[in-house]
Structure 1
Amino acid sequence: MGFEKEDLDVLLVPSGLLIMFVYHLQLLYRYLHQPHTTCMGFENFNKRCWVRANMQGQERNVGTCLQVISSNTSAATFLATVSLTLCSLIGAWISNTNNNFFVSDLVYGDTRPTTLSIKYISLLICFLLAFSCFIQSARHFVHANYLISTPSPSVPPRSVEVAVIRGCDFWSVGLRALYFALNLLLWFFGPIPMFACSVFMVLFLHYLDSNTMPLIEHEFDGRQVVKEVEQRVSEIAMAIHMPSHQN
């Protein structure tokens, strides 16, 4: 029994997916332990500094902050809509039993109905995952809008940082799901284009995800810090003088 073209799917498709998974596991390790070496970690550092600069100032430009976050919310909502639309198109394509393009001899690989169903299901899962991540991203950005627009100065900057960073993290995961979906889309044309796309995408993503720029030293307005120190000193002075007045 010799090697047939149907065996290419068993060999090349898992190899391509393994390359993508290994790269993203390595990227996740760098993001958690060496965030300054990744573009996502570098951008998150700048976003934290942006939140602190806007939350610690005495006169906050709330309109500009809301406009910046609203643009991210709109982008996440748009991509969520696109992902859901693609899911609907895939469902309509599956229901169309007269379409036999991907089972023709032009596709060099396994064209059996079972393999074709696995392709559709895998692609549908990627788009659904992307839709869920973009929706969660928009939810966290909306929550950051509420926190920034709160008139009370008692909102800690840490809460806004967490909302913004989580929104960006879900955004990144949604984009990664779309990258995987592109690989699986090329699988419909055969395992060879899918494997070639996996190798090219890992090289391309490594170029995009790597960061060599040093972290920017941001200077914050020290007036808020001085105000908090003076308030703390006055509280300590009052606590010292209170026993003497009682005596």
Structure 2
Amino acid sequence: MVIYHLWLLYRILHHPTKTVLGINTINRRIWVQTMMENTSKNGILAVQTLRNNIMASTLMATTAIMLSSVIAVLMTNSSLRGQDYALGGNSELGLSIKMFSILVCFLLSFLLYVQSIRYYSHANILINVPVGKIGLGTEYVSRAMNRGSYFWSLGLRAYYFSFPLIMWVFGAVPMVSCSFLMVFLLYFLDVYSGSDRREAVVTVEEMC
């Protein structure tokens, strides 16, 4: 999965119109520009949209910290130490390492969603400032919103990484199988090959 995400990062940076994340970044920038062209008319819509994003990030952050608490309780439960799983055959140390890896994933996801809330909150205030009264224009606001979305995506990726680690508790074979399955599914979620890609390319050229 690490290799896949490095490949995905390369595609996003060099071929953004071929990835869903890249296209969404372009569209969010256009959306911010449209909202700020007439703040008196579009202000309520913009605030409600960002509020929905903040609520979604809050829900995911709450879920992540709750799962972290569950994993921490399992790690400190003496009755589970040294337990021999059917497929894993884990020692006490091996099981602790695996549970700690899962805990790190959920804690990282929590921190990423907190950062997402932070940037969405900044954008929520700045998006209603008239364009003529802000020194950096719409670019600064769209960058804040895109950063919030980036942290949202990274938080979700931390959730995705936890699935192979959970399967690792039961052994290496389930972990590898889950990793290949996750890469297969994520490829279809991340890569865009629609017929209207040419329109997205034209949009990028116009914005540049």
Partners of 2:39 and 2:84 in 1: how far apart?
68
Partners of 1:180 and 1:115 in 2: how far apart?
19
SS in 1 for 2:79: coil
Displacement, 1:181?
A: 0.6
Of the three residues 46, 55, 70, the one matched with 1:74 is 55
Change (3 A) 1:58 1:191: closer
Of the three residues 59, 83, 92, the one matched with 1:103 is 83
Higher helix share: 2
Which segment is superposed worse, 138-147 or 54-63? 54-63
1:157 and 2:138 matched: yes
Change (3 A) 1:105 1:131: closer
1:169 and 2:169 matched: no
Give the share of equivalent positions with the same residue, in percent.
39
TM-score by length of 2: 0.89
Displacement, 1:190?
A: 1.7
Query: How many residues matched?
Result: 197
Gaps of 5+ in 1: 1-19, 219-247
1:204 and 2:193 matched: no
SS in 1 for 2:90: coil
Partners of 1:183 and 1:136 in 2: how far apart?
25
Q: Which amino acid aligns with 2:189?
A: L
Q: Which amino acid aligns with 1:115?
A: G
CA deviation vs aligned residue, 1:130-176 (integer Å, no higher than 9, x gap)? 00100000100000011013357423101110111000100111111
- Corresponding residue for 1:51? 32
Q: Which amino acid aligns with 1:159?
A: Y
SS in 2 for 1:61: helix
Partners of 2:23 and 2:130 in 1: how far apart?
30
Which segment is superposed worse, 132-141 or 144-153? 144-153
CA deviation vs aligned residue, 1:14-73 (integer Å, no higher than 9, x gap)? xxxxxx110000000011111111100011111111011111237441000000011011
- Corresponding residue for 1:229? none
Q: Which amino acid aligns with 2:154?
A: V
Q: Which amino acid aligns with 2:10?
A: Y
1:119 and 2:98 matched: yes
Change (3 A) 1:77 1:25: same
Partners of 1:128 and 1:60 in 2: how far apart?
40
Pairwise mapping of residues 59-70 of structure 1 onto structure 2 (< 5 A)? 59-70=40-51
- Corresponding residue for 1:11? none
Displacement, 1:183?
A: 1.1
Give yes or no for contact 2:131–2:138 (8 Å, CA) kept in 1: no
- Corresponding residue for 1:34? 15
* Structure number with larger C-alpha Rg: 1
Q: Which amino acid aligns with 2:31?
A: W
CA deviation vs aligned residue, 1:177-197 (integer Å, no higher than 9, x gap)? 110011101111222111100
CA deviation vs aligned residue, 1:178-229 (integer Å, no higher than 9, x gap)? 10011101111222111100001001101110012314567xxxxxxxxxxx
Partners of 2:115 and 2:154 in 1: how far apart?
11
- Corresponding residue for 1:134? 113
Partners of 2:131 and 2:20 in 1: how far apart?
34
Partners of 2:180 and 2:139 in 1: how far apart?
39
